[in-house]
Amino acid sequence: MAMRGLLRLGEVALRVLDMKAALEHYDKRMGLQVTLTDDSGRVYFKAWDEHDHHCLVLREADAPGIDYFAFKVSDDAVLDEMALKLRDRGYAVKHIEAGVHPRSGRRIEFTLPSGHAMQLYAHKDQIGNHLPLRNPGVLPDEGVIRGFRINRIDHLLLGGPRIDESAQLFRELFGFDLSERLIDADSEASLALFLSCSTKPHDVAFVLQPEPGRFHHVSFLLESTYDVIHAADMIGKYRIPVDVGPNRHGVTRGATIYFFDPSGNRNEVFSGGYVHYPDTPTLTWDTSELGKATFSQDNTPRESFLTVLT
Q: Considering beta carbons, is residue 104 or 209 the nearer one to Fe ion?
A: 209
Q: Considering beta carbons, is residue 147 or 273 the nearer one to Fe ion?
A: 273
State the sign of the Cα–Cα–Cα–Cα dihedral 118, 269, 44, 21: positive
H/E segment holding residue 216:
strand 214-222
Question: Closest separation between CB of residue 219 and Fe ion, Å?
Answer: 4
Task: Using CB positions, name the residue nearest to Fe ion.
Answer: 219
Output phi, psi for 195, to 5 deg.
Answer: -125, 135
- How many angstroms separate the CA atoms of 192 and 207, rounded? 4
Query: Which residue type sits at 117?
Result: A
Size of the site for Fe ion (CB under 5 A): 2
Question: Closest separation between CB of residue 141 and Fe ion, Å?
Answer: 30
Site for Fe ion contains 219 (CB under 5 A): yes
Which amino acids are annotated catalytic? 155, 202, 217, 249, 258, 268
Looking at 57-65, 115-123, 214-222, 280-288, which segment touches Fe ion (CB under 5 A)? 214-222
Closest CA to 163 of 155, 175, 171: 171
Q: Considering beta carbons, is residue 91 or 201 the nearer one to Fe ion?
A: 201
Query: Which residue type sits at 156?
Result: L
**Residue 5: how many other CB atoms lie within 10 Å:** 17
- How many angstroms separate the CA atoms of 240 and 29, rounded? 9
Question: Closest separation between CB of residue 268 and Fe ion, Å?
Answer: 5
Site for Fe ion contains 203 (CB under 5 A): no
Site for Fe ion in 250-289 (CB under 5 A): 268
Question: Closest separation between CB of residue 252 and Fe ion, Å?
Answer: 7
Q: Considering beta carbons, is residue 50 or 268 the nearer one to Fe ion?
A: 268
Q: Considering beta carbons, is residue 110 or 220 the nearer one to Fe ion?
A: 220
Closest CA to 254 of 168, 157, 114: 157
Question: Closest separation between CB of residue 121 and Fe ion, Å?
Answer: 23
Looking at 76-84, 88-96, 104-112, 213-221, which segment touches Fe ion (CB under 5 A)? 213-221
Q: Where are the alpha helices (DSSP H) in the chain?
A: 19-23, 76-88, 163-172, 225-237, 290-294, 303-307
Instruction: Give Cα separations from 143 to 128, 146, 271, 272 (angstroms).
Output: 16, 6, 21, 24
The answer to whether the beta carbons of residues 152 and 205 sit under 8 Å apart is no
Question: Closest separation between CB of residue 156 and Fe ion, Å?
Answer: 8
- How many angstroms separate the CA atoms of 267 and 22, rounded? 12
Q: Considering beta carbons, is residue 86 or 269 the nearer one to Fe ion?
A: 269
Question: Which positions touch Fe ion (CB under 5 A)?
Answer: 219, 268
